[in-house]
Amino acid sequence: MWVRSSALAPLPAPPDDGRDPWEAAVLFQHALGLELITVARITDAGTVRPPCRVIGPAPVPTAVDAVPLDRRQLVAVAPYTACTGHDHDVTMADIIGATDRLLDAINSAPDCDTIVLTDPAAVACRPADEDAIVDALDRTAREVSATVIWYPWGGAVSERLHALVYDSAVDVMAHDMVAAPDQQLYSITEYRGTDPIGFGIADASGAVVLAADGLVDRLQSIRTRIPSQSFTGIYLLPAEPPESLPWDSLEPLFDAIVTAAYSS
């Protein structure tokens, strides 16, 4: 079984030392030994950050160019979450439009091996929206060549939505094992988890970072509580995007995740 560590995203802005913020973020992730390095993200408006930089006929070489393709990760807001936060109920047309923008942005972003779709709004979505959520995820996964990880952090989705996404083209479902571990384990045991599977295993809310041996114990406990299924691979993630953490708090967080991945 392999275990891959990921920084998730977005990262907080690094200290202003004259370097491009995304260059600094890429180099920082690389230096800490993360297996999957976030080289770009797509906002809920479908905008790629950092923007592609081109001078003359050729792109400007960046730190991203030094990251092997099989370690590059793109993090994007999933279509349903991209539609929420407005003063009206989400419609099918909204979700289709958000999916169109997402796919256009993926095509303009750097080539990546893995795409993480963060979808916190799916944790508390209306039951009427579940089929549309899955249709958008399924379409996205079918139209890109990268491995697609769906991560509805902040809790557990409904059992029905879990089962629907499991049967879709999404490659990996990731589960927030900090906010709702018991419900996640029930859904995985009852409806199965994807293989590979993802676990948001490290608290990134600003609380004290659990040491690497604590994360190893947590992962071992998770695996022993899913006796009906073994996995060929596991992605380890922060439980939520670490953008609220100060820059100097990222190192112990990422170091614990990397160490836990290597020790598992």
Domain ranges, ordered by start, for the chain: 2-263
The SS3 assignment for 75 reads strand
What local confidence, expressed as pLDDT, does residue 23 receive?
A: 82
Residue 119's alpha-carbon distances to 133, 224, 260, in angstroms, are 10, 27, 25
Q: Assign 220 a pLDDT band (cuts: 50, 70, 90).
A: very high
Structural contact between residues 256 and 210, judged by C-beta atoms closer than 8 angstroms: yes
What local confidence, expressed as pLDDT, does residue 47 receive?
A: 84
pLDDT digits (tens, 9 = 90+) for 201-212: 999 887 566 788
Question: Residue 226 above 70 pLDDT?
Answer: yes
Query: What burial class does residue 192 get, using C-beta atoms within 10 Å of its C-beta: 0-12 exposed, 13-18 middle, 19+ buried?
Result: middle
Structural contact between residues 149 and 235, judged by C-beta atoms closer than 8 angstroms: yes
Pairing assessment for the beta strands 54-55 and 58-59 based on DSSP bridges: antiparallel
What local confidence, expressed as pLDDT, does residue 207 receive?
A: 58
pLDDT digits (tens, 9 = 90+) for 37-64: 998 899 888 888 876 544 444 455 577 8
The SS3 assignment for 149 reads strand
Q: pTM for the complete prediction?
A: 0.94
How much is the average pLDDT of 73-95?
88
What local confidence, expressed as pLDDT, does residue 13 receive?
A: 72
What local confidence, expressed as pLDDT, does residue 127 receive?
A: 87
Q: For domain 2-263, which CATH number applies: 3.10.20.740, 1.10.10.10, 3.40.640.10, 3.20.20.210?
A: 3.20.20.210
For the chain, what percent of residues have pLDDT higher than 90?
A: 64
Average pLDDT value for the chain:
89
Phi, psi angle pair for 9, to nearest 5°: 180, 170
Q: How far is CA 183 from the centre of its chain?
A: 20
For helices 130-143 and 92-108, angle between their N-to-C axes, nearest 10 degrees: 20
pLDDT digits (tens, 9 = 90+) for 115-174: 999 999 999 888 889 999 999 999 999 999 999 999 999 999 999 999 999 999 999 999
Question: Residue 86 above 80 pLDDT?
Answer: no
Instruction: Choose from 98-107, 122-131, 201-210, 226-235 the range with maximum mean pLDDT.
Output: 98-107
What local confidence, expressed as pLDDT, does residue 25 receive?
A: 86
Q: Which of 21-25, 197-201, 239-243 has the lowest mean pLDDT?
A: 21-25
Q: What is the dihedral of CA 234, 239, 245, 249, to 10 degrees?
A: -50
How much is the average pLDDT of 218-231?
90
